Amino acid sequence: MKIPAVIKNKFENMKYRHKLTILLVTASLVPMILLVLYSHDRMSSLLREKEMEDMSSILEQTGEGIDSQIEVFSSLLNYLTYSPDIEDLITEKNMDNYQAYIKYTEVADPLLSVPKSYHDAILQIQLFAESIKVRHEYTLVPLAQIDKEWGSDRLSDDMKIQWLVERSLSQIAAVRKIYRGANVEAVLCVTLNYDKLFQPFENIINEKCGGMILDSDGNIIYRKENFEDEILEKAKDSAQIVAALDKKYASVNSLSEESGWHFFLYKPQSVIDSTVSQIL
């Protein structure tokens, strides 16, 4: 940068002690300015890290809360799977109508209906079995009718609990197949209220924040954004959304060991920058 002639002439005409004073003051200010700039940059970085740590902590706690609920439903499903009464219903295939009615009303109905009164997220519990010839209310259903409810093609050949999500119906199902040898003899299904199970996650998606949950296959089972973004709106699948998050968003994620679901919490980078600026 070229020094104006007037200032240059004025400096040259100064007495030596004045020049020395100016040079000393300037020399002392330069490191102070550099120190202030470094401190400001370092403080900004620390505040951004703190914001990300807070987001990560909130997401982790929320995920653990949902996992604890999932564990409750998994334990219920395991209990019913190994219940002697359920086993009798599955294996007894030659009951007459009267015996079946007694079994259904006095044994099956209380066993499959009572848990609803203890947890408001449970919509219904169903047993699909080959031994059931005629549907009994919503609790006992012939195995062949499972296609109408959830679609057997969506279930893998696995004895583990499988989680199916129907966003359009606001329902989630915890499903377990029961085998007799290599053949599926029955299926137990606990249907849950989608909104109530994911309510804790929705609660942390505040203003100018977004959240998404993917199942183990990468399908979007929950998504909400409290801001507008053209790139996210045009994204056709979870891979495109995750790619966008990596480029221009402050995002954290957590994987649920219980369900295999992948939780994402994110904010536009400008929101983080604005928060840091207000503090500084």
Per-position DSSP letters for 178-210, written without gaps between them: EEETTEEEEEEEEEEEHHHHSHHHHHT--TT-E
> Is-contact 115 122, C-beta < 8 A?
yes
Q: What is the mean pLDDT of residues 37-51?
A: 66
Amino acid identity for residue 132 in this structure: I
The CA distances from residue 267 to 44, 108, 168, 185, 206, in Å, are: 17, 48, 26, 47, 10
Instruction: Produce one character per residue of 234-246: b if its CB has 16 or more CB atoms within 10 Å, e if not.
Output: ebeebeebbebbe
Question: Which has more pLDDT, 3 or 253?
Answer: 253
> Is-contact 245 216, C-beta < 8 A?
no
Question: Which has more pLDDT, 72 or 169?
Answer: 72
Q: How far apart are the first and last CA of the chain?
A: 31
Out of 18-27, 50-59, 89-98, 134-143, least confident range: 18-27
pTM, 2 dp: 0.78
Band (192; pLDDT cuts 50, 70, 90): very high
- pLDDT on residue 99: 79
pLDDT in tens, 100-158: 778 888 888 888 888 888 888 999 999 998 888 888 888 888 888 887 776 656 777 77
Band (38; pLDDT cuts 50, 70, 90): low
